[in-house]
Amino acid sequence: DIQMTQSPSSLSASVGDRVTITCQASQDISNYLNWYQQKPGKAPKLLIYDASNLETGVPSRFSGSGSGTDFTFTISSLQPEDIATYYCQQYDNLPPCTFGQGTKLEIK
């Protein structure tokens, strides 16, 4: 199985900060990488698909990049409503598709 290593596991930042989360795959997954946001008690929400494509309706302050084994998710200017846990997910090698362990983002 492909392992997804996400870092950091938690992050504290101020409103307006640029926030970066990384996800590393244990083998080449091309661009088969998605990013989700999950707020407490809610279902996850798709933000970025195929590494760098913004899902319809998602604010442009969210972006993704990378290919192969190394991927980055960025919030250009952190807003209070961005407080959530963020997950990467790969789907290159099925089964299974796998999620990273998550990054819990808090306001400083």
Partner 1 sequence: QVQLVQSGAEVKKPGASVKVSCKASGYTFTSYGISWVRQAPGQGLEWMGWISAYNGNTNYAQKLQGRVTMTTDTSTSTAYMELRSLRSDDTAVYYCARDVAAIVGATRFDYWGQGTLVTVSS
Which class for 106: exposed (0-12), middle (13-18), buried (19 or more C-beta within 10 A)?
Answer: exposed
Closest to 27 in 3D by CA, of 87, 64, 70, 86: 70
Query: Cβ of residue 107: shortest distance to partner 1, in angstroms?
Result: 20
Query: Cβ of residue 99: shortest distance to partner 1, in angstroms?
Result: 4
| The only residue of 13, 54, 83, 97 in contact with partner 1, by rule CB under 8 A | 97
- 61 vs 91, which CB is nearer to partner 1? 91
Question: What is the residue-wise DSSP string for 74-92?
Answer: EESS--GGG-EEEEEEE-S
Query: Among the candidate windows 16-24, 64-72, 73-81, 90-98, which touches partner 1 by CB under 8 A?
Result: 90-98
Closest to 103 in 3D by CA, of 11, 2, 5: 11
Tell me if 43 contacts partner 1 by CB under 8 A.
yes
Strand-pair partners of 13: 107
| Length of the chain, in residues | 108
| The only residue of 19, 51, 87, 105 in contact with partner 1, by rule CB under 8 A | 87
What are the residues binding partner 1 (CB under 8 A)?
1, 32, 34, 36, 38, 43-46, 49-50, 55, 87, 89, 91, 94-102
